[in-house]
Structure 1
Amino acid sequence: MTARSDADRAASPSRLKVARRRRRIVPRGNGTLIALVALSVVVTVLVLIWPDTAPMTVLIVPLLLGSLLLGPRQLPWFVVLVMVMLMLAISVQPNITAKQVLAITILYLLCFIVLLTSFRRSRLGVAGVQGESMLVDLRDRILSQGVIPPLPEGWLTETALRSAGGTPFAGDFMVSVGTPDADRLEIVVVDVSGKGEQAGTRALLLSGAFGGLLGALAPPDFLPAANDYLLRQGWEEGFATAVHLSLDLVTGRFEVRTAGHPPAAQLDAGSGRWTVHEAEGPVLGLIEDAEFIPVAGVLRPGDALLLYTDGMVETARREIGIGIDRMLGHAERLLRGEFEGGADRLVDALGSRNDDRALVLVHRR
C-alpha cells in the first residue's frame, strides 16, 4: 500500500504536466467547438466534391448544433465560419436555380438569427443547453421549497400550484418549514406581483430568502422581516402578498397572518360551515415598519384550513368576495368525506387560467 501510494504521488506531477499541455493545445470547453468546425469542414468538402449529390442545406446540422452547444464567445465566430463554408459551397454549384436561391437565402437568414441569439445569450454567459439546465434546476429548487415535510399521524397537508399559461414558472409559490419530530408547522403562500414567467424570476429569489427567514425567525417576526427584505430590493414592481400559517401539531392551535392577501378559510367539521379569517396587514414591500395582526384559531379533528392566492377567487369579471364564496361552495362539494387529492380538485375546478393559482389544504383527521 505504501509503495503504491508513493508511486502514485510520483506520477501525479507528470500527469499534471500532460493535462496542462492538453489544455494549451485544446483549451477547456473548446472540444465541442473543434468537433463542430471539423463537421462543418467535412460537410463543405462533400458539397465541393459532389455538388450534384450533397445539398448545401446539410450545413444546417452543424449550425443548429452550435446554437445549442456553444457558448456566447464561441458561437459568433462559428456562425461566421458556417457562412464562409456556405459561400464556398455556392461557388461550385453548376447552375443556381430559383429554388437554390431561396434555400441559400433561408440558410443565411438562419445564420443571422443564430448570431442575434448569441448576442442575447451573452447576458447569461452560458450555452443554450447549459442555460436551460440552470433554469430547470432553479425551477426544481423553488418547487422543493414548497414540499410539505412529513407530519405526525393524524394530519394531512396537500399543495397545488398552476401557473398562467401552463408554464413551470409562476409568480405564486409556497414555502414550508417543519421536521417529523417537531410540534409546529410553518407554511407561507406568496403571490408576487405579475404572473407567469414575468414574475417567475422574482419568485425564485424570494422563495430562497423567505425559506431562510421562515426557518430562522419566530412566527410574529417573519412577515416584518419579509417586508424589510422586499423594501431593500428597490424593485419597480417589487411588491408581494402573503399569508403565513403557524400551526401547533399537538394542540391544533394556529395563527394566521396576512399581508394584503386573501384570507384563510376554516372548515368546522361539527357544523359543516366555513369561516373566513380576516387578518390585517399591508402588502409586502410598500410600507416601512408594517404591522401584521394575527388571527388565532384551533383545528379540531375533522376540521380543515385553506390557504390560497387571488388567482383562485378573483377574475376580471368577479370580485374577490364573490370568488371566495364560490370557492367555499366548491370546497363543500368537492371535499365532502374525501380530503385526499382535494387540493388538486379545487385548483382544477376554480380560478382563471390566465392567472397563477396556488392552494394549500391542511386537514386534521
Structure 2
Amino acid sequence: MLVTLRELWQATQVCAVVFGDADSPAVVTTDPELSWDDLSAARRQELATLREKPLLTSVAEQAGGAGIALEHPDGTMVLFVELAENRPFTEQDQTLLALLAGHLGQGLNRIHQIDQQRETALALQRAILGPAELPAGFAVRYAPATRPLKVGGDWYDTVTLPDGRIGIVVGDCVGHGLQAATVMGQLRSACRALLLQTADPAQTLTALDRFAVRLPGATCATVFCGVLDPATGDLAYSSAGHPPAVVTHADGTAVLLDQGRSRPLGVRSRTDRPAAHYAVPARATLLLYTDGLVERRRQPLTAGIDRVTTAVQQGRDDTLEELADDVMDGMAPAGGYDDDVALLLYRHPGPLELDFPAEPTRLAPVRSALRGWLARCGIDPSVAQNILVAAGEACANAIEHGHRHRPAGTVRLQAAATADDVHLTITDRGLWRTPQPADNPHRGRGLNLMRALMTEVTVTTGTAGTIVGLQARIPR
C-alpha cells in the first residue's frame, strides 16, 4: 500500500504512524530501516500535529509533504507523503488522498473484525475439542482433515473421576468438517457427563446411544470408552464399533484390546453393550486412536493397525511427547491426512511430580513416595535402591546448598520411566557451593556417589537455580 502511494505521487517516502497505547508510536515506512526515534524532531512534531486534525481531512501545509489522519483499530493512524522537491499537492491530490485513506481505514477495521472473529472461532473450537490440561502420563495429538478448522468429527477426552480413576475416550463421527465438528462437540460433552455419573464404560455407551439417536448426524459414530485406575493400571473398557486400542509392553510385546466390542452408536440392538478388563503392566504404553490414523485406500485396516503397533514398539523408550510426534509423522500419507485423526497415549504409571519445602525433615516422605512409584514401575529392587540413594543425595544437596540463602524455598522432584530407563530431575532455586575437599575431606562426596550409582548424571546451574538430572538403565 505504501509503495503504491509513493509511486502514485512519485514521493521520496511514505510513512504510516499509529498512535496507540504503546510508549512509542508504531511506524511503517517505505524505508524498512526507519523507526520513530529515527525521524527528525520536526517530522515527529508534524505527525503529532496531524494526529489532532479531523479524521480523513488531508493537510498539505507542511513544507514538502501532505498528511491525513484516519481511524485505526489500535488508535489513530497518520499517513504522511513526503513529496519530491517542487512537487505541488493539488486539490485533486487532496481529494484522492482522502478517498484512499477512507478505503484504507475501512479495510483495516474489516481485517480487525475478521481477526477477532477468527480468534473467537478458534477459542470455541479448542473448547469443544478436549481438555487443555491432561492428567500425568498422557499425551494427545489431533489433526483435522478440513482446514482452516482446528476441529473435525474426531475427538479425545480424559475425565478425572471422583474416586481418582480416569475416564478415557476417543471417538469418531461420520464425515468431517464443520457439521461433523458440531456433532462431535455434543457427543463429547454428553459422554463426559455420563462418565461422571456412572463411571462404567458399557453403561456410558448405552446411555450415549439414547442421546445419539436424537442427534442428527450422530448415528454410526464409533467410540472407545475406558475407565483407568492410574494406581494399578486396571482398565475397564467398552467399544462402540471403534478400532481396537493397542498396548505395547516394555519388552515389545503388543496386545490389541479387541474385547468388549459392539455396534456403533445409534444402531438399534436388543443385546446389552459388553465390557472388558485389561491390566496395563508396568512401563507399558496404551494407544487409542481414530481410523484416520491407520485407514488407507486399497489396504486392509489390519495393515494400518500393524504399522502403528510397530511404530509404538520402536518408540517405547522415547518420552510420550516424542512418541506422539513420531507416530503422527510416521503414519502420515505422502499428501497428508485426508481424514480427521485423534491420538491418545498413556504410559503406566504416570510420571511422579513432587514439590516439597527445602527442609531436611521432608526427605523421608519424598523417599517413601519415590519408593512406591518405583515399585509401580516394576523396577528391580537393587536398581530401585540405587535410584533412591542417588535421588536422596541430590535432594539433600538441593536443600543444603541450593537454598542456603532462601530457607523458604521449594525443591521439585520429577521422575518418569520408559521401557528401558528411569529419568529423574531435581530442581532448586539456588546455586550449589563449589566443593572444597581440602577444607573438609568428609564432605562433597554426593556427586561421586550419584555418578557411581547412575548411568548418567548431569548438573546444570544458572541464575534461576540448579537442575540435577539422573538416568538409570533398567536391565531386561
- Unaligned runs of 5+ residues in structure 1 are 1-37, 70-126, 151-155
For the residues of structure 2 that align with 1:165 and 1:274, how far apart are their CA atoms? 33
Q: What is the number of equivalent residue pairs in this alignment?
A: 261
For the residues of structure 2 that align with 1:231 and 1:351, how far apart are their CA atoms? 33
Does 2:243 match 1:277? no
Number of the residue aligned with 1:201 = 182
For the residues of structure 2 that align with 1:210 and 1:183, how far apart are their CA atoms? 18
> Cα deviation per residue 1:97-149 (whole Å; 9 max; x = unaligned)?
xxxxxxxxxxxxxxxxxxxxxxxxxxxxxx65554343222123124436423
> Cα deviation per residue 1:293-332 (whole Å; 9 max; x = unaligned)?
2221111212221111101110123221111011111211
Number of the residue aligned with 2:92 = 51
Q: How does 1:1-365 map to 2 (within 5 A)?
A: 42=57, 50-53=91-94, 54-55=96-97, 56-65=99-108, 67=110, 128=114, 131-145=117-131, 147-150=133-136, 156-165=137-146, 167=148, 168-178=150-160, 182-219=163-200, 220-233=202-215, 235-236=216-217, 238-270=219-251, 272-278=252-258, 279-287=260-268, 291-336=272-317, 338-352=319-333, 353-364=337-348, 365=377
Number of the residue aligned with 1:16 = none
Check conservation: 1:281, 1:290, Cα contact below 8 A: no
Number of the residue aligned with 2:369 = none
> Cα deviation per residue 1:266-313 (whole Å; 9 max; x = unaligned)?
12335x211112132111133366632222111121222111110111
| TM-score between both structures, scaled by the size of structure 2 | 0.49
Partner SS state of residue 298, structure 2: coil
What's the offset of the Cα at 1:217? 2.1
Which amino acid letter does the alignment assign opposite residue 127 of structure 2?
A: R
What's the offset of the Cα at 1:164? 1.6
Distance of aligned partners of 1:318 and 1:146 in 2 relative to their CA distance in 1, 3 Å threshold: farther
Partner SS state of residue 210, structure 1: helix
> Cα deviation per residue 1:237-262 (whole Å; 9 max; x = unaligned)?
64411101211223221122111110
What's the offset of the Cα at 1:214? 2.1
Distance of aligned partners of 1:198 and 1:51 in 2 relative to their CA distance in 1, 3 Å threshold: farther
What's the offset of the Cα at 1:189? 0.5
Distance of aligned partners of 1:201 and 1:266 in 2 relative to their CA distance in 1, 3 Å threshold: same
For the residues of structure 2 that align with 1:146 and 1:287, how far apart are their CA atoms? 34
Which amino acid letter does the alignment assign opposite residue 356 of structure 1?
A: D
- Unaligned runs of 5+ residues in structure 2 are 1-53, 59-67, 69-89, 349-376, 378-476
Check conservation: 1:157, 1:360, Cα contact below 8 A: yes
Higher relative contact order (CA 8 A, sep 6+): 1
For the residues of structure 1 that align with 2:100 and 2:219, how far apart are their CA atoms? 48
For the residues of structure 2 that align with 1:51 and 1:211, how far apart are their CA atoms? 66
Which amino acid letter does the alignment assign opposite residue 254 of structure 2?
A: W
For the residues of structure 2 that align with 1:241 and 1:166, how far apart are their CA atoms? 23
Check conservation: 2:130, 2:155, Cα contact below 8 A: no
For the residues of structure 2 that align with 1:163 and 1:295, how far apart are their CA atoms? 30
For the residues of structure 1 that align with 2:263 and 2:132, how far apart are their CA atoms? 23
Could you say which structure has the larger radius of gyration?
A: 2
| TM-score between both structures, scaled by the size of structure 1 | 0.63
Which amino acid letter does the alignment assign opposite residue 210 of structure 1?
A: C
Which amino acid letter does the alignment assign opposite residue 318 of structure 1?
A: Q
Check conservation: 2:236, 2:276, Cα contact below 8 A: yes
What's the offset of the Cα at 1:59? 3.2
For the residues of structure 2 that align with 1:135 and 1:210, how far apart are their CA atoms? 23
Higher helix share: 1
What's the offset of the Cα at 1:42? 4.8
For the residues of structure 2 that align with 1:201 and 1:322, how far apart are their CA atoms? 31
Runs of 4+ in 1 over 4 A off after TM superposition: 127-130, 337-340
